[in-house]
Amino acid sequence: MRRALSILRRRRDGTFSPFPGRRWPAGLARVVSTGAFVWMFAIVPGTAGSPELPNLPTSRTDLSAEDLARVTAITRPTTDFSKPEQFEPMQGGAGTSRKRINQDAFSQSSANLTFEEEGTFKLGNGLFRKLWVSSPSSTQASDGLGPLFNARACQSCHLKDGRGHPPEGNADATSMFFRLARQAETEEEKQALADRKVLNFPDPVYGGQLQDLAVPGLAGEGRMTISYEEIPVRLADGTALSLRKPAYGLTDLASGPLDAGTTLSPRVTPQMIGLGLVEQIHPADILAKADPDDRNGDGISGRPSIVRDELSGELTLGRFGWKAQTPSIRQQSADAFAGDIGISTPEVPKHWGDCTEAEKECLALPNGVQERLGAVEAPPPVMDLVTFYSQNLAVPVRRDVGNADVLAGKKVFYELGCASCHTPKFVTRRDAPNKAQAFQLIWPYSDFLLHDLGEGLADGQTVGDASGTEWRTPPLWGIGLTKRVNGHTFFLHDGRARNLTEAILWHGGEAQKARDSFAALAGREREALVKFLESL
C-alpha cells in the first residue's frame, strides 16, 4: 500500500485547505497553531479515493481546532513513569465501570448510559443469553436453532462476556471453533477477492466454519482435535520455560474429507468489553498509525484492513475480529448469529446458517421464520437490542495504577516497543451516534491494524487483506481480569499461551525484537511488566 505525506491547514471554522507544494519528513505528524490557521502536518496512509483507501477520512473532521489540539496533547505517549497519567484509571472514559471487581466485571453496562438506555441494555442482555431451540417448537419466538451450530446462545461462546478457551481435559469446545477457508481457484474468484466482494472462500462441503453440534436427527459436521508439543525456552537470566505448540485436526467428519485446499484457523472467542468505544475511534486516527512500508525503520509495518461493509456495500475500515475482517458490531453480531447459532437476520438472511448445498439433509429441515415476526428468525428489533448490548459493555476501572511495580512495568512496556502496536490511548469521535461513546479518552492498548507476527503464530489462512501470518493487534484492556472472570489465563487467538509470559514469548515477525528484548530482561523487570499487564 502506498503512503502519501501531505500538509493540510485547518481553518478555524473546521474546514480544510491543502498547502500546495509541501511535504513533511517521514515519521512526523503534528499540529501547530499559527494565526488564522491550525497547520496539520500529517502522515496520511494512502490517498482518499485510492483503491487502497477509498474515500476514508485522513484527518479528524469531527473536531474543532481547539479540540484537535487537546486530543493531540492528551494522546501523546507519556515519558513520565513516576506516577499515573491523568484519567488513566478510567480505561473506558466516562463509561468506565466502577462496580466491584468480581466474576461479572465484564458484564456491566457503560456507566454513562441514560435510565432509558439501561433498560435497553438489559433487554439486549436477555437476548444475548437467550437459548434458541430447533424448529418447529411451541416457543415460536425462539425457533430457528441450527440446524448446524456451535452454541445455542451468544453467552455460551462469550462466557461471562469474556475470553474463550481451548478445550481442556473433558471440557467442550463451545468457546473455540475452526474457521474454514480456501484460496481463490478461478479467475472469477480472484476478481471477487480483488474487488473485496468476499474475504475468502468456504470449504465446498462444510462451509466457512465447522459446526460440531446439530439439532435432533442430524449429525454435527465433525470434532476438532488438538495436541500439544512442549517447546523448551531458556531466557537470558537462565530461567527455563516451556511453550506449548498446538497441532490441529478433525475427526468424525460427517460428509467426507475437507477440500484439499481448505485451511483450519482455530479461534477462541474474544472478550466483549469496550466494543462500542472501539467502533467510534475515528478512522483517521487508526490510519495515521499505519506504516506498511516501514518508512520510519522501526521494524513495525502495520496495515489497515479494508473491507466491504455488507450493509452499505461501501469499502471501509475493518476493526473487529482476530483479522480485523469486520467493520461494525452489528455485522459482527449478524455473522455470529448465522455461523455460530444458525439464526438468520436481516443482515445475513441465511435460515439454515452455514449449511452448504452439499449438506442436503441440513437444508431439508424446517427453519424458524415466523411470518408474524418478520422474514427472518431474528428480526430487526432483536438485532437492535443485541447490538446495543454489545456496544455498551463497560470497560472495568484500572487497578493499582500507582503501584511502584506497575509503574516500573509500564516503563518496560514502552521501552521494549510494545506501545508501537498496542497504542495506549485514543479519543473517540465527537460526532458518535450515541453520546455515551462521544469524545471519550479511552485506553484500549491497540492500534487495530494488521501485523505480521511470524510463522510461529501463523494459521495459513488469508482473510481479506490479512495474510496467513497477520493478526489484528488485540486490545489489552481487561486482560488482567481474565482469571477472575473466566477462570483461566489462556491467551492468543487459539489460547495456546497459558499465561502472559508465554503470550509474549510467542510473538515473532514484527514483534520479534520486542519479544527478544523481553527474554533478555532480568526476572524482576519481567515480573514488573506482567504486573502492569495484570493491572489493565
7 within a domain of the structure (yes/no): no
In a domain, 196, yes or no: yes
Look at residue 339 in the predicted model and tell me its pLDDT. 96
| pLDDT above 90: residue 367 | yes
Q: For the residues 482-500, what does the mean pLDDT come to?
A: 97
Provide the residue range defining the domain that includes 199: 115-274+319-390
The SS3 assignment for 250 reads: strand
pTM of the model: 0.89
**Per-residue CA distances from 410 to 177, 298, 504 (Å):** 34, 20, 15
Return the amino acid letter for 26. A
69 inside domain: no
Alpha-carbon span 305 to 323, nearest angstrom? 8
Q: What is the pLDDT of residue 7?
A: 35
* Phi, psi angle pair for 49, to nearest 5°: 90, -5
Report pLDDT for 533. Answer: 98
Name the E strands within 191-274: 213-214, 223-234, 240-251, 263-268
The pLDDT, as a whole number, for residue 464 is 96
Q: Pairing state of beta strands 30-34 and 37-45? A: antiparallel
- pLDDT-based confidence at 52, cuts 50/70/90? low
In this structure, of 40-44, 155-159, 315-319, 360-364, the range with the lowest mean pLDDT score is 40-44
DSSP-derived secondary structure for 364-400 = TS-----TTT-SSSS-HHHHHHHHHHHHTBPPBPP--
29: pLDDT strictly greater than 70: no
Q: What is the pLDDT of residue 140?
A: 77
| pLDDT recorded at residue 174 | 77
The pLDDT tens digits of the residues spanning 77-103 come to: 999 999 999 999 999 999 999 999 999
Backbone angles phi, psi at 418, to 5 degrees: -60, -35
At 23, is the pLDDT very low, low, confident or very high (cuts 50, 70, 90)? very low
Distance of alpha carbon 5 from alpha carbon 28, whole angstroms: 9
Secondary structure of residue 232 in the 3-state scheme = strand
Q: Are 385 and 127 in contact (CB under 8 A)?
A: yes
pLDDT bucket at 171, cuts 50 / 70 / 90: low
Whether 163 contacts 482, CB under 8 Å: yes
First to last CA, the chain: 33
User: How many whole angstroms separate alpha carbon 466 and alpha carbon 123?
Assistant: 36
**Does residue 281 sit within a domain?**
no
In a domain, 395, yes or no: no
Q: Residue 19: pLDDT above 50?
A: no
CB count in 10 Å sphere of residue 74: 14
DSSP code, position 337: I
**Residue 68 phi/psi, 5° resolution?**
-60, -40
Q: Per 3-state DSSP, what percentage of the chain is helix, strand, and coil (rounded to 5)? A: 25, 20, 55
Task: Provide the percentage of residues in the chain whose pLDDT is more than 70.
Answer: 89
Of 457 and 17, the one with more pLDDT? 457
Within-domain flag for 341? yes
Give the number of domains in the chain: 1
In a domain, 506, yes or no: no
* pLDDT(65) > 60: yes
pLDDT in tens, 293-319: 889 888 999 999 999 998 889 999 999
Task: Indicate the helix (H) or strand (E) that contains 305.
Answer: strand 305-308
Mean pLDDT within 473-484: 98
On the question of a cis peptide bond just before residue 349, with omega within 30 degrees of 0, the verdict is: no
Model pLDDT, residue 47: 35
Gap between the Cα atoms of 532 and 419, Å rounded: 13
Distance (Å, whole) CA 390 – CA 341: 17
Contact 480, 399 (CB under 8 A): yes
d(CA 472, CA 447) in angstroms, rounded, equals 8
Is residue 122 a contact partner of residue 502, using CB atoms and an 8 Å limit?
A: no
Question: Quick one: 44 exposed, middle or buried, by C-beta within 10 A (0-12, 13-18, 19+)?
Answer: buried
324 domain residue, yes or no: yes
User: What pLDDT does residue 311 have?
Assistant: 82
What cell was used for 329? 458490531
For residue 512, pLDDT beyond 90: yes
pLDDT at 42: 38
Does the pLDDT of residue 169 top 70, yes or no? no
Q: Residue 241 half-sphere exposure, CB side, CA atoms within 13 Å?
A: 20
For residue 173, pLDDT beyond 80: no
Largest CA distance in the chain: 75
Mean pLDDT estimate for the chain = 90
**What single letter denotes the amino acid at residue 118?**
E
Distance of CA 136 to the CA centre of its chain: 35
